[in-house]
Structure 1
């Protein structure tokens, strides 16, 4: 029986550990926190998983919360009109909703990771509650056929060198601020449809609103992405959750009053329901070398960390785990050498590269043809639907998004012009 060590108990590490376990591998999982500590701790993320990523969970029969979590049937885009956040009436220059072919879902990672971790242990997996340093891995690596590092923060990440060719940004491009709330009202134009709402405020940042399942049941996530140094970049050092929520709502009132109108009665889901931070989007070399010469393979956002502006983090983590699981199973009894590690990463990069390209494009001010595309989606439901469904398959953006000629040709094909 092949022995595999997975370091880090997030979406990718746990999905991969449970997948390997179901195929008879002897898996050890290292986590720096217990399931109870995760469940009662602070929120770790925003997450909205689209159809393909959800299907990877279903394939492993890990979709424990599918019946409880809101079924997200659409994705809406609103763009604030220029100058609309000055005093006076606020207008949306663009406002539309695209329908998803297969619903999306969001489950608070405190719920999911704690539940999956308990399942892993119940199924006989070896769970080690211990923060891992490079020296620990150096010691452990001799006892395992393969060591996978899926802990996206801390000193372990430093083993994987930055890939400058694939990492155009060296500084964080957004300041992130998250609040989980109860009591958000529906959007009046679609009161019966759960949808993710992407609100773009040009030159300022973005507000995302998404339905989720949290520790206390159904909730919504209010998620600001602020351009560093701009008016949304005010959460640094805010420790009090009530102050965090108050700042969130004040910014909504100023910049996205159409969303604020349904948030006047919200309250935090719990004392751990806020999160703030920032990081530079980075692609890294997938193979880490331990001091004793052993090799480890980086997983998910250890090796490809994109800004959350396109909502791809948990989707990419799920797709990475699925790709790595297939590669490990196909390897059989052969050695997990460096060549295999690089080929395994390349298999994942084949999908991840589309996410990275799209995310980095969305972090920059939009060129004219993108503004035209977003505007056209307001008049043409097929365009809105295609844009929404590309969140599930970002490779499709190659066909109609990046190049003005392709965008023009696509819009002409829809209008029959």
Structure 2
């Protein structure tokens, strides 16, 4: 490895994980950052995400464990599927999730990187392809993990892997007080309307509840995602409470009368995500290679909660490949993209599938989970293993085989009682 090392653009979960891992492996790194750690702390809510066990394990290996407050680990999931009657079940997570506001987590990772001697080059304006190419002269390889201009200019959309050209959901994400914390992930499906998710999250100052509303455009939930909290806080909260009561009733039951509110006016995010897979690498005008990882490569809707986990995974695979040595040419980039797609492909297919109407075999799985705690546990633990998740959820025969095996076992043992939701 020469003294020039690796240049990384972006300070999201992918860029910072990659920088810390390369640093740990003895590879020289330069991080190109639009914001300082303090600016990240002071920004608007970027998302509401959970990191599953494998992402947490990577942070433990890095020695960068942050935000492990009491009550911050998510130990189970409660599922509600609307209908007449509704389906309800709960499952226990073998490996708890952890959810932290990225304005808490990312600055802490940033500080770890700089405290260990990491070099940061500020980029006052969003860089484009020209800047990335210019920086590449000082590095063996450029990795783009974030950036609006650079992503759009360097990595075109892969139409084969990008079935949608517009958002499939209208989103409302926020951090709320006045909701009783119970250590569970709440997963609510309202057919024809959308989905509502909630989980306990670490925020500045302690534990809050993160709520994500995913509304089908034109459906009954969409109005709640469009109102401005700043313009009319009372109406915003009233409509959200009404929406939760109808489409996420178990979550609504945990709202404390008169106490429900956003943590603050900057603790809300509204809009939509167009799912897209881009080309995973580019040949710069100089002839050098730039890799895309994280959101620069793949942007998925948050409906399956895999974004941060996929970003962490891809950063780790990329770091190990880089540490193995160059040349960092097109063959290297193509081989690395193939390796990353082994997880990214199932995540993308699963996420895109769940943006459509739930197929019959998934509804059969939900129905079985409401009757059988084993199936309930099996389903909720799929979120921690996306490859296994898609192998089951994408295959009607696999679901039917699982249900048939349980039906045979239960006929011998007697039907178990489901847990109270």
Partner of 2:65: 63
Selected match of 1:219 from 181, 205, 208 = 208
Instruction: Work out whether 1:195 is the aligned partner of 2:190.
Output: no
Partner of 2:350: 358
CA distance in 2, matches of 1:159, 1:237: 35
Selected match of 1:128 from 121, 126, 130 = 121
Partner of 1:394: 386
Instruction: Work out whether 1:182 is the aligned partner of 2:177.
Output: yes
Query: Aligned ranges for residues 1-400 of structure 1 at < 5 Å?
Result: 1-68=3-70, 70-82=72-84, 93-130=86-123, 131-151=126-146, 153-186=148-181, 193-234=182-223, 235-236=225-226, 238=228, 240=230, 242=233, 244-263=236-255, 264=257, 265-331=259-325, 334-400=326-392
CA distance in 2, matches of 1:136, 1:152: 12
Equivalent position SS for 1:249 = helix
TM-score w.r.t. the length of structure 1 is 0.91
Cα gap change, 1:395/1:302 in structure 2, threshold over 3 Å: closer, same or farther? same
CA distance in 2, matches of 1:8, 1:237: 31
Q: CA deviation at 1:155?
A: 4.4
CA distance in 2, matches of 1:245, 1:147: 45
TM-score w.r.t. the length of structure 2 is 0.90
The question of whether the paired residues in 1 share the 8 Å contact of 2:46 and 2:269 is answered with yes
- Offset from partner CA, 1:1-29 (integer Å, 9 cap, x none): 45111101001100110111122222111
- Offset from partner CA, 1:225-251 (integer Å, 9 cap, x none): 011222333334736183654443232
The question of whether the paired residues in 1 share the 8 Å contact of 2:168 and 2:274 is answered with yes
Question: 137-146 vs 403-412, which deviates more?
Answer: 403-412
Q: CA deviation at 1:158?
A: 3.5
Partner of 2:415: none
Please, what is the CA RMSD of the aligned residues? 1.9
The question of whether the paired residues in 2 share the 8 Å contact of 1:179 and 1:245 is answered with no
Which runs of 5 or more structure 1 residues have no equivalent in the other structure?
83-91, 187-192
Which runs of 5 or more structure 2 residues have no equivalent in the other structure?
412-421
